[in-house]
Amino acid sequence: MIDQSLWQTAVALQEYLAASGHPFCFIGGLVVQRWGQPRVTADVDATILTEFGGEAEIAREILQRYQSRIENPIQFAIQSRILLLQDIRHNKIDLSIGGLDFEHRIVQRSSWWGLPGGGKIRTCSAEDLIVLKSFAARPQDWIDVEQVIIRQQDKLDRKLVQEELLPLAELKEEPEILEQLKSFFQKHP
């Protein structure tokens, strides 16, 4: 279902980030393959940790290896804490620059996953994927959330998901995010 070159991009990014010494893990559509219903995705999403104020430094470092997809990537990284990159295969990479306590916990809870065709990457937990997808709250994200809940069933720590999502939904001032998640939990006990 996933283009083999996207897996290669993930493994190469994994090797690069591991060598850089910055804590990180994969999030997004690739991780849905592990915890939810496999589906097509067009990019590689990951989070790399750095403290607030370190965005420009980490951006400069990563831009020595990866090409930006936008103009003024360092300024964009400072403002939005994300790098929009592409590799030599022209595969898209969205690299979030994490610094919140929640993002640190995502990386701490991450674990290794063996990829189809070989290699392994460090991915966020199913619970953290649900939190991230719920927070984004786009139509595809809600489909992914429900599929993770269905596939993981009683293996999920639902209390942890709600505890992590609550302050994020409050920050976004969108309590309906929690209500949507609770409706999925009720629908799939």
Q: What is the pLDDT of residues 97-134, one digit of tens each?
A: 999 999 999 999 999 999 877 788 999 999 999 999 99
Answer for the pair 77, 59: CB distance below 8 angstroms, yes or no. Answer: yes
- In the chain, what percentage of residues exceed pLDDT 70? 99
Sheet holding 92-98, edge to edge: 67-68, 82-86, 92-98, 43-49, 24-27, 120-123, 111-114
Q: What is the DSSP letter of 65?
A: T
Query: For residue 169, what are its two tokens?
Result: 């939904």
Rounded Cα–Cα distance for residues 10 and 99 (Å):
22
CB count within 10 Å of CB 22 equals 18
- What predicted TM-score, i.e. pTM, was given to this entire model? 0.93
pLDDT of residue 42: 86
Answer for the pair 109, 127: CB distance below 8 angstroms, yes or no. Answer: yes
Measured on CA atoms in the order 48, 163, 29, 37, is the torsion positive or negative? positive
Query: For residue 124, what are its two tokens?
Result: 């966020």
Q: What is the pLDDT of residues 6-44, one digit of tens each?
A: 889 999 999 999 999 999 999 999 999 999 998 888 899
Position with higher pLDDT, 141 vs 51: 141
pLDDT band for 149, please (50, 70, 90 cuts): very high
Cα–Cα distances (Å) from 97 to 48, 141, 145, in that order, read: 5, 20, 23
pLDDT band for 1, please (50, 70, 90 cuts): low
